[in-house]
Amino acid sequence: MAREQPNVGDLLPLLETSDLQQLEAIRGLLNEQLSTERGSMLLNGLVDYFLETNSAQALHILSSVREPHDKHLLDKMNDCMTKQACRLPTLLLLGHVVRRQPSWIHKVARYPLLLSLLKCLKTDTDVAVLITGVLVLITLLPMIPQAGKQHLWEYFDIFGRLASWNLKNPGHVSEVYLIHLHASVYSLFHRLYGMYPCNFVSYLRSHYSMKENVETFEEVVKLWLENSKYVKML
């Protein structure tokens, strides 16, 4: 007689048990179901549970997802990115997955999730979301170099938008958030030059020759250039 599969909704809260033996058993059951299930029900349930609870145990399982569930995970995260309330925890989840560098991570370049990430960085006004999204992009870019040709100018537009944020501060956010955003965009500056030096220098020349961008160049970007080896390139 076939063994009855335990209900996912009953298993997930048990991930928070303090009994290590029980925790290992629950994680084993969930991983076993993931290895045999071809659909997305369990994985979607895990993502929803993480978004609701910020569960470290759910995050651990999701960060270790293997094929073919990579597609389900990427699609689910993309769906969650469309909801403002879910955007920040979804980006935190994506960041954890990217840092684990699973063998399938290069596939992100072919999925709508990358477009959702770029759209978020071009339009969102929540600074915590922007900081987290920039850090995800910085980490992800070396893993998807083939996406550069298609999205290169979007990367540069994101840099241009966020480099001016501290001066404009459209959300009137606290100083501590601005400091973190400034540091994140400075890291993006180094990433873009390191990967696309000629194209990025061309963008900087063009973008900061415009009158409306001169102040950002003088107050922000020029200082970055002077503190780096790239100043000779302009």
Where residue 34 falls among pLDDT bands split at 50, 70, 90?
Answer: confident
If DSSP codes are grouped into helix, strand and coil, which group holds residue 206? helix
Angle at 32 between CA 97 and CA 37, to 5 degrees: 80
Per residue in 121-162, pLDDT (tens digit) is 999 999 999 999 999 999 999 999 888 789 999 999 999 999
| Threshold 0.85, pTM exceeds | yes
CA 167 to chain centre: 24
Distance CA 89, CA 129 (A): 9
Tokens describing residue 118: 């770029």
Q: What are the DSSP E strand ranges found in 5-162?
A: none
The pLDDT, as a whole number, for residue 181 is 94
**Predicted confidence (pLDDT) at residue 226 exceeds the cutoff of 90:** no
The pLDDT, as a whole number, for residue 124 is 95
Per residue in 52-96, pLDDT (tens digit) is 999 999 999 999 998 889 999 999 999 999 999 999 999 999 999
**Predicted confidence (pLDDT) at residue 5 exceeds the cutoff of 90:** no
What residue has token string 């999701």? 62
Which contacts (CB < 8 Å, 24+ apart) does range 86-89 have?
86/51, 87/120, 87/124, 87/126, 87/129, 88/126, 88/128, 88/129, 88/132, 89/50, 89/51, 89/54
What's the mean pLDDT in 28-49? 87
Distance CA 221, CA 160 (A): 10
